[in-house]
Amino acid sequence: MKHNIYSSGGVQNIEFTDNQSDKSVGVVDPGSYTFTTEREETVQCLTGSLEINNNQCLPGQKVVIPKGESFTISAKEASSYLCLYK
Report which of 33, 30, 17 is spatially closest to residue 83, judged by C-alpha positions.
17
Q: Which CATH superfamily is domain 2-85 in?
A: Jelly Rolls (2.60.120.10)
Other CB atoms within 10 Å distance of the CB of residue 73: 23
Farthest-apart Cα atoms in the chain, separation = 34
- Reported as half-sphere exposure (CB side, CA atoms, 13 A), residue 9 has a value of 0
53-74: pLDDT as tens digits: 999 999 999 999 999 999 999 9
Task: Report pLDDT digits (tens) over 6-57.
Answer: 999 999 999 999 988 999 999 999 999 999 999 999 999 999 999 999 999 9
pTM, to two decimals: 0.93
Q: Are 26 and 77 in contact (CB under 8 A)?
A: no
